[in-house]
Chains A and B, each alone.
Chain A
Amino acid sequence: MKYIDEYRDPGRIEHLVAQIRKTSRKPIKLMEVCGTHTVTISRNGIRDLLPHHITLISGPGCPVCVTPIEGIDRAIALAQKHETIIATFGDLLRVPGSETSLLKQRGEGADIRVVYSVYDGLRLAQQNKNHQVVFLGVGFETTAPTIAAVIQRAKEARIGNFTVFSMHKVIPPALKALVQSPELEIDGFICPGHVSTIIGTEPYMPIARDFGVPCVIAGFEPLDVLQAIGLLVRQIEKGEAKVEIQYRRAVSPKGNLKARVVLEEVFEPCDSIWRGLGPLPRSGLKVASHYSDFDMERRFNISPVNGREPPGCLCGDILRGLKRPPDCSLFRKACTPESPVGACMVSSEGTCAAYYKYST
């Protein structure tokens, strides 16, 4: 597979590991922000390949994991409504709400459909004119522009039964919160590749400039992640703090301006609550008022819910990188992929799921 297999080449990977071992002296903690990076790292056993004094901490870049329980509860409430179809990415299906999950509700008769792209959700609305179709919008800056584009299409086509439940969030405020956290000492960030395809390098500049923490934007194959770690090590050993792009085939410094324009047309920043990090100002996206016909919050009256965090669940600390899954008393006991307690275990790229699935 072109542009995939070459970045899994064992020879190059071995070389990169050797380089890291040769150049890395200081004990350092690096955070991979993005859940997909956590999966790459776990699936390829990268932690075992690195020297012991390099610690990798998993961050909150798993959109499903940081969606508060209330989000799931409200989605379930929508699903229970008469003649309402919920269109969702597969990622959300098993996430536990306070009482139940979307998958379980489907078993109870709720009309919940898994889609691969948001256009499928729009198509559902066109095919089911006497149903309301609500698309569950999760994801960061990579996904939000695609949702925005389809909302624009829906407006052009005057589709009257399609709304989006926006639970979208944006990454830079979370990074800022992490780097300002006194308990966490992060020496470098492995930054999310595809989010950066959209936002470019500029949002990471304050992290490097004002906090002195190097940032390297990494791709998702094992070679990419290791190369990014190598670049971080090089910066740290030299005492530098810059924003670098490892993932140069897919990220340009300016990012994707067109996608950002579409996103800013349809969405507005808002304050939002991150599971684990708490409320962060201007860290979420809500549908802008001139697209209110496509905003679930305007179409439906689903009251805010007080979600209950399950007792003993350490997802919050894990999302902030303060604890690792083995530190949680529920890990592998009460909390397993079959019966997940927290989102970190049920999301396909949740830290706990990755540890459970892949770590020896």
Chain B
Amino acid sequence: MCLGIPMQIRSIDGNVAKAFLSGTTRLIYLDVLDEEAQVGDYVIVHAGFAIHKIDEKEAKETLDLFKEAGVLPSGS
């Protein structure tokens, strides 16, 4: 029910930011983001609004769960 795309903030102007994903740039709105956004932050964008700042540490840990199991998959 919720397409949410991870995008990186490239510039901020009030409640509007320019966000970037792999070659595509869009304007997004920061009205409902619960943290102060900084240029360089990655956020989840839904229907043109940033709803969460991506936790880079958690993102990495989700992928690293495999290291615990003693399996190092391709591309890790």
A residues near B (Cβ < 8 Å) are 1-4, 6-7, 9-12, 14-15, 19, 34-36, 61-63, 89, 116-120, 139-140, 142-143, 145-146, 149-150, 153, 192-195, 197-198, 220, 223-224, 227, 246, 248-252, 256-259, 262, 349
Known contacts A34-B1, A194-B4; 8 additional CB pairs below 8 A are A2-B21, A36-B2, A142-B46, A193-B4, A197-B52, A256-B32, A258-B33, A349-B1
B61 at the interface (CB under 8 A from A): yes
* 20 pairs of residues in contact across A and B, judged by CB atoms under 8 Å: A1-B22, A2-B22, A4-B5, A6-B63, A9-B74, A11-B73, A19-B69, A34-B2, A140-B2, A142-B47, A143-B46, A146-B47, A149-B29, A193-B4, A227-B62, A249-B54, A249-B62, A250-B4, A252-B52, A259-B51
Most buried by A among B21, B46, B74: B46
Main secondary structure of the interface of A (DSSP, over half): helix
Does B31 lie within 8 Å of A3, measured CB to CB? no
Contact partner of B2 (CB less than 8 A), chosen from A6, A153, A193, is A193
Q: Is the CB of A250 within 8 A of B44?
A: yes
Residue of A nearest to B63 (CB): A6
Residues of the B chain whose Cβ atoms lie less than 8 Å from the Cβ of A262: 31-32
Instruction: Provide the bound-state CA to CA distance between A1 and B34, in Å.
Output: 24
Contact B73 A14 (CB under 8 A): yes
Given contacts A142-B4, A249-B54, A249-B59, contact A194 B74 (CB under 8 A): no
Task: Please tell me if B65 contacts chain A, counting CB pairs below 8 Å.
Answer: yes
> B55 contacts which of A143, A145, A193, A248 (Cβ < 8 Å)?
A248
Say whether B58 faces chain A, with CB atoms less than 8 Å apart: yes
CB closest residue in chain B, given A249: B59
In whole angstroms, how far apart are the Cα atoms of A12 and B69 in the complex?
12
- B: residues with CB less than 8 A from A are 1-6, 8, 21-22, 29, 31-34, 42, 44, 46-49, 51-52, 54-56, 58-59, 61-63, 65-66, 69, 71, 73-76
CB-based contact B49/A197 at 8 Å = no
**Shortest distance from the beta carbon of B72 to any chain A beta carbon, whole Å:** 9
Indicate which residue in B48, B59, B63 contacts A116 across the interface (CB closer than 8 Å): B48
In the complex, which residues of chain B have a beta carbon less than 8 angstroms from the beta carbon of A146? 29, 31-32, 46-49
Asked whether B58 lies within 8 Å of A249 as measured between CB atoms, the reply is yes
**Would B65 and A227 count as touching, CB distance under 8 A?**
yes
CA gap between A142 and B6 in the complex, in Å: 15
Do residues A36 and B1 form an inter-chain contact, with CB atoms below 8 A?
yes
Q: B8 to A2, Cβ gap below 8 A?
A: yes
A263 and chain B: residue at smallest CB distance: B32
* 3 closest residue pairs by CB, A with B: A117-B48, A194-B2, A11-B73
Contact of A89 among B29, B47, B71 (CB under 8 A): B47
Q: State the CA gap A284–B6 with chains docked (Å).
A: 28
B29 touches A119 (CB 8 A): yes
Query: Cα distance A249–B76 when bound, in Å?
Result: 17
Q: How far is the CA of A7 from the CA of B7 in the complex (A)?
A: 15
CA distance A192 to B34 in the complex (A): 19
The answer to whether B61 and A248 have CB atoms under 8 Å apart is yes
Which chain A positions have C-beta within 8 A of B56?
Answer: 249
Residues of B within 8 A of A61 (CB): 1
Residues on A with C-beta less than 8 A from B5 are 4
In the bound complex, residues from chain A placing their C-beta under 8 Å from that of B6 are 1-4
Select which of A19, A117, A195, A197 is within 8 A of B29 by beta carbon. Answer: A117
